[in-house]
Amino acid sequence: LNDLYEIGNQISSGNFATVRLCRNKNTNVYSAVKRIDMQENSDDMIKVKKEVEILKKMNHANIIKLVEEFEMNGYFYLVMELITDGDIISTIMNSKYYSEQDVSGMVHNVMSGILYLHSINIVHRDIKMENVLVQKNRNGLKKLKICDFGLATIIANNEILKTVCGTPNYMAPEIILQVGYGNKVDVWSVGIFMYILLYGSPPFHSRSNDFNKIFENVIVGKYDLNSTTWESVSEEAKTLITMLLEPNPTNRMTAEEALSYPWVSKDQFARNINLRPTIGNKLQKYYRNSAYVMKKGNNVLANTALDKESNYFEKAQNE
């Protein structure tokens, strides 16, 4: 590792990992190197190695890239793509203009990444605002990158998953009801993601972060699309939300179908009205008052599969 990279300052840290800036001595390209403590517990080692194997499979513009890996001196070292622009909430709060067209582009980015994951038989199972980072290209344009694959799993064709896991506000009803599920749970989560970007808070939440209350609300399936906040949002966008948040996974859109939906694929269907004054304030208020604490930007890179114990529910089997 030290022969190839110059290790710099610490960027972030977590319960089981630290992340530092590093520079490739040959190419002068900067990356982030994550050091994970190798656990003596064999089950923990399996979790870490599973996450690494999933990261190694991926190569997509909207998914964070694993550059290379090292195993030495009791640690895993993962050299990751460096994400320079942090989290979505901060990006929105720092902008003066934020429109439905911006949201359409964000949904396109994330759903493109999801379609790729599903095409290589991977289910993420934890798509949420803080697991999507912002990267600015050299031309000034921004793209989103899906990260944190600690709950991701490989799924065989037509395999039914059973593990009850995820972040409560984003979990699909079929996970909560324990009836078995497939990759469309990721599509549901993108629906929650889209709803938050257009409304400023999740459709299903509890001020006290009461998981049971959140789950009850998800199962009932009632959420607001009629308040004054939604008057500035196009009917096409609201229709897409209902198709992504379809309780029956059989009738729910696939990632491919969502990408073909005109509001996502064509610019003219998303409104160009500044939502920043209303949505920005609601986002800031929700994340400030919520019992849930959001990890920002590159801090998310310090997450590992070992940090996910609180994201498993019931007596679920591991996949």
114 burial type by CB count under 10 A (0-12 exposed, 13-18 middle, 19+ buried): buried
pLDDT at residue 318 in the model:
43
**Could you identify the residue written with the tokens 């022969």?**
3
Residue 206 makes CB contacts below 8 A (sequence gap 6+) with 213, 214, 217
Q: Write out the DSSP string of 270-296.
A: S-----IIIIIHHHHHHHHHSSSPPPP
Q: List helix spans (H) across the chain.
A: 42-57, 88-93, 100-119, 173-176, 184-199, 211-220, 235-244, 255-260, 262-265, 281-289
- Kindly report, residue by residue over 194-217, the tens digit of the pLDDT: 999 999 999 998 777 788 888 888
Q: Which of 85, 87, 102, 126 is catalytic?
A: 126
Q: CB of 253 within 8 A of CB of 246?
A: yes
pLDDT digits (tens, 9 = 90+) for 8-26: 999 888 777 889 999 999 9
pLDDT digits (tens, 9 = 90+) for 209-253: 788 888 888 998 889 999 999 999 999 999 999 999 999 999 999
The answer to whether 143 touches 135, Cβ cutoff 8 Å, is: yes
pLDDT band for position 292 (50/70/90)?
very low
Across the chain, mean pLDDT equals 87
Q: Which residues, 6 or more positions from 31, have their beta carbon under 8 angstroms from its beta carbon? A: 5, 21, 22, 23, 24, 67, 79, 80, 81, 82
Return the SS3 of 59.
coil
DSSP 205: -
Within 13 Å and on the Cβ side, how many CA atoms surround 2? 2
In the chain, the percentage of residues whose pLDDT exceeds 90 is 60
- Distance between CA atoms of 288 and 246, rounded to whole angstroms? 29
Distance from C-alpha of 282 to C-alpha of 289, rounded to nearest angstrom = 10
Residue 171's nearest CA partner among 80, 245, 268, 227 is: 245
131: DSSP letter: G
- Our answer to whether residue 224 is catalytic in this structure is no
Confidence of residue 74 (pLDDT cuts 50, 70, 90): confident
Instruction: For residue 78, give the H/E element and its range.
Output: strand 75-81
Q: How far is CA 258 from CA 107, 110, 194, in A?
A: 9, 11, 12
Provide the percentage of residues in the chain whose pLDDT is more than 70: 89
Structural contact between residues 140 and 183, judged by C-beta atoms closer than 8 angstroms: no
Which CATH architecture fits 88-311? Orthogonal Bundle (1.10)
pTM (2 d.p.): 0.89
Q: Tally helices (H) and strands (E) across the chain.
A: 10, 9
Residue 280 has phi, psi (to 5 degrees) of -60, -45
Q: Where are the domains of the chain?
A: 5-81, 88-311
What integer is the mean pLDDT of 286-295?
58
Domain covering 5-81 in this structure, CATH number:
3.30.200.20
Tell me the pLDDT band of 313, cut-offs 50, 70 and 90.
low
